[in-house]
Amino acid sequence: MNNHPLASILLAILFGSTPAHAANGKVTISAPAKGAVVAANAKLKLSYEADTGYDGDHLHLNVDGKRTDVIRQLKGTIEVDGLAPGKHQLCLLVNTKGHVPTGPESCVDVTAK
């Protein structure tokens, strides 16, 4: 069998994979910071950026494990309804058109006082 290194390189370029974060997606929450103390019962601004990857279509906002919003914009700031006093977890998850999570997510824990 004849091995041609150039052919292998060309095949890798043509059919190779894209970077993992592009294929699988990525979500980053830039505000509030992890562990932040926020005002209880006041609207909270959550800043984020997302790459839904190959299978993703949109984001779900989960507060304390419950979906509270569906987000189609991949970068921006959204308002979260006021949180009762105590500890809370805010998560953004990439989902398919059928609302099935694809894996990438970002969460922040905050305390409302």
The domain spans of the chain are 20-112
Asked if 31 and 52 count as a contact pair (C-beta separation under 8 A), the reply is no
Per-residue model confidence as pLDDT tens digits over 88-101: 999 999 999 999 99
Threshold 0.85, pTM exceeds = no
Per-residue model confidence as pLDDT tens digits over 58-84: 999 999 999 999 999 999 999 999 999
Asked if 72 and 94 count as a contact pair (C-beta separation under 8 A), the reply is no
Q: Degrees (nearest 5) of the Cα angle 52, 43, 90?
A: 40
What is the token pair recorded at 45?
Answer: 């601004």
In this structure, the strands spanning 58-63 and 66-71 are antiparallel
Q: What is the gyration radius of the CA atoms in the chain, in angstroms?
A: 19
What is the token pair recorded at 90?
Answer: 């805010």
CATH superfamily entry for domain 20-112:
Immunoglobulins (2.60.40.10)
